[in-house]
Structure 1
Amino acid sequence: MTGVAKHLAKGLDVRTSTLVFSINKNEGDWTVTTDDGIQYQADRVILTAPLPQSFSLLFGAGIEMPAELRRIDYDRTLGLLVTLDSNEHRIGTPGGVQFPDDVFSFIGDNAAKGISTAPALTFHANPVWSLEHFDLPLEEIHAQLLAAATPYFGNAQVITSQPKKWRFAIPQSSWPDATWVEPSGTLALAGDVFAGPRVEGAALSGLAAARALT
């Protein structure tokens, strides 16, 4: 999924692995401060973080988010990425399966999707299982996910496995508009909570935010 973003970002000054500590509204622009103390001046700001994180930044700037928007919660997701020694696993064409059992909501064949040159599977636990197990030690989560995933390995052997945790994975409801714009018209919120919990929803929301701030 990062391929499209990387293509669109060619020629742009993109800062990654950077934590935004605060945003502040000035007369005519914004100051964005990162956790290393560097400040950036911006005419326009688009926030695409999960709503609880965006709310924290807005609250610190004295900006009120609509209560209905602020109350939208997210399902948690526990995941497992497994690399295998062959493609002799049990995930067939077209390379993905949804809700195959009581643990997983999705299993994807990364090689079939074209995002891995090596045999690899991605497992997403369903929201109920993820919530019940989210606060367990990571080692225990890893062991339980691996045990639940084993029947899908078929004749393939595991080379590596890595657990993943997403606290804000899937919005439990959606905002009716594709974006939310702060009254000054210079800051907008975007993401899959606005246009549906899908990749295309997040993209459409981003486009709507950009148009709103033009």
Structure 2
Amino acid sequence: MTPAFLSARAYDKPTANSVRRAVAMLREDIDAALERDPATTSRLEMALASPGLQALWSHRVAHRMWQRGGRWRLPARLMSQTARFATGVEIHPGATIGRRFFIDHGMGVVIGETAEIGDDVMLYHGVTLGGRSMQQVKRHPTVGDNVTIGAGARVLGPVRIGPHAQVGANAVVVKDVPPQAIATGVPARLRFPAPAASQPDLYADPELWI
């Protein structure tokens, strides 16, 4: 089921309630970004200077246009390409993205048409959620809630990344990653951290970040 805020119909007739929902969603995005980016301390700075947020907001508009189909598809593609030029982030308007999504730094991120991304997901720069098929089928990854994908990682094909999993920097993932697992290396190998290690430690596990 498509989340309400991604539904094209929800925005056909702007009302006071829809405007309030849109403002609340923008604030939620900004607050989620602030929690993940210690270099920024104000909502205004985050809104104006975060290419990841700007790419996300542009995508949400383009995605609603894409859902309408027909003559809306070309303008949606043009909007996504304009956002790519401005931010360095390429998100196909057909991709589905959940709440509180954040891309840190932004440059070089590519998200394919049939990708599905859950809530509270974070990507670093250079991440690719790409396809491995030329057929018009589900060919891009499905990323569960609370997943972190490190810089330069490639997740390819209709694989599933389970909730709370972590994909290390520069990893190449072509198979499913179970919930709470850590995938690092080329091709990616799976590890399962101790339950106490719920938050990644930069120095204890540098493969997640480098």
| TM-score between the two structures when normalised by the length of structure 1 | 0.24
Structure number with the bigger relative contact order (C-alpha 8 A, sep ≥ 6) is: 1
| TM-score between the two structures when normalised by the length of structure 2 | 0.24
Q: If each structure's helix is expressed as a fraction of its own residues, which one has the higher value?
A: 2
